[in-house]
Amino acid sequence: MARRIIIIVLDSVGIGEMPDAEAYGDRGSNTLGNIARLRGGLHLPQLAKLGLGNIDSLTGVPENANPEGSFGKMAERSAGKDTTTGHWEMAGVILERAFPTFPHGFPTEFIERYESAIGRRVLGNVAASGTEIIQRLGEEHVRTGKPIVYTSADSVFQVAAHEGVIPLAELMRICQLARVMLKGELQVGRVIARPFLGVDGQFYRTPNRHDFALEPPHKILMEYVQERGLEVCGVGKIYDIYAGKGITDFATTKGNMEGVQKTLEYMAKVKSGLIMTNLVDFDMLYGHRNDVEGYARALEAFDQRLPEIYAALRSEDMLIITADHGCDPTQPGTDHTREYVPLLVRGPNLKKGINLGVRATFADIGATVAEYLETEMISKGTSFYPLTKRH
């Protein structure tokens, strides 16, 4: 019996504040709910059929009396609200401490040590939008050869450099050095190389980005699946998030629609195992930029592609649609938000209309995958497969 699980992570599509949201400064956050309310409704007929409106009240997304999927929401047990934390928890890693963030830049003492290590002074050392900072500091970088260091609301250390000034190989070297040096209280989730091209006033980022991720602290779901002799395919940021652990094949993407397309391509050729996709546009292009309308349109564009995904499902497939955290574009600031995430499950041979309730941890996904694919169990979660299994 060739079983497959397809997990699609809608990056930042939260569905309401968690009980501890106030401790994170996120009281009142509800990415889906606030977007739907402010916009006067979301048109998500496919997600509504799955049971999205059954999880919580969403303007324009009605509750479905006969859902075609099962539905619920998940709480994050780990401390934090970033991409790495959310994805790691799905794979069985629970973090007691959140990855550090640096809203005011990195300590001067560290920057001085970093400059000494790479043999260059740096520009920036601020929290900023990546597209904005290369317009602001790009000309000075080209003139001086100083790389641009910046961070964001995420736990990241980012280095931007013009490919004609600092060659890609050198940019990767100095990012790898940063990865090695960022330890202890400075141990960020990711170091990201951000190459760009163009001229003053028209600088643009190239597709040659590379993430130097922190390795998970112990064995994760993907490694168990791989050891079972099954395929583990990552789409989008998945390979980087897990530092390649257990991934047998991967495809990087330039946007949500390419992410959907790559997922469909894997579904056409992978016989058994796990396909996991991250669709990043919701977070990167709209959540962090407080773009309510853009976020809404991206949700509706994804919804329109779901029939293609349903058509590609085989009899023994399980499709899971979820998220990794919130990023409510209606909230003050541009940070992620501490929210529950939706959980929607569909499969040709699975029960329909099951209320999966409020899951205690994202690790329930890992436990479900382990049980369904008959790998070693992920002990930190509880599988919801028994609730959806046809007896």
Which CATH number covers residue 60? 3.40.720.10
Residues 191-200 have pLDDT tens digits of 999 999 999 9
Task: Say if residue 220 is in the same domain as residue 77.
Answer: yes
CATH of the domain at 127: 3.30.70.1250
Whether the predicted pLDDT of 378 surpasses 80: no
| 216: confidence class by pLDDT, cuts 50, 70, 90 | very high
pLDDT at 309: 98
SS (H, E, C) the chain: CCCEEEEEEECCCCCCECCCHHHHCCCCCCHHHHHHHHHCCCCCHHHHHHCHHHHCCECCECCCCCCCCEEEEECCCCCCCCHHHHHHHHCCCCCCCCCCCCCCCCCHHHHHHHHHHHCCCCEEEEECCHHHHHHHHHHHHHHHCCCEEEECCCCEEEEEEECCCCCHHHHHHHHHHHHHHCCHHHCCCEEEEEEEECCCCCCEECCCCEEEECCCCCCCHHHHHHHCCCEEEEECCHHHHCCCCCCCEEECCCCHHHHHHHHHHHHHHCCCEEEEEEECHHHHHHHCCCCHHHHHHHHHHHHHHHHHHHHHCCCCEEEEEECCCECCCCCCCCCCECECEEEEEECCCECCCCEEEEECCCHHHHHHHHHHCCCCCCCCCCCCHHHHECC
Position 135 scores a pLDDT of 96
pLDDT above 80 (res 391): no
pLDDT at 152 over 80: yes
pLDDT at 104: 93
The count of structural domains within the chain is 2
Residues 306 and 370 in one domain: yes
Domain end (from 176, 198, 213): 213
| Residue pLDDT, tens place only, 264-284 | 999 999 999 999 999 999 998
Same domain (yes/no): 66, 144? no
Task: Select from 213, 233, 251 the last residue of a domain.
Answer: 213
- Percentage of the chain beyond pLDDT 70 is 100
Q: Does residue 275 sit in the same domain as residue 259? A: yes
**Domain identity same for 333 and 227:** yes
- Residues 286, 384 within the same domain: yes
Domain that holds residue 202: 108-213
Residue 1 has pLDDT above 70, yes or no: no
Q: What is the pLDDT of residue 341?
A: 98
- Considering the entire predicted model, what is its pTM? 0.92
* Same domain flag for 139 and 246: no
Domain-ending residue, one of 163, 193, 213:
213
Same domain, 29 and 70: yes
**pLDDT value at residue 380:** 85
Same-domain status, 301 and 160: no
Residue 284 lies in a domain: yes
* Residues 365 and 257 grouped into a single domain: yes
pLDDT digits (tens, 9 = 90+) for 23-67: 999 999 999 999 999 999 999 999 999 999 999 999 999 999 999
Q: What is the pLDDT of residues 309-341, one digit of tens each?
A: 999 999 999 999 999 999 999 998 888 999 999
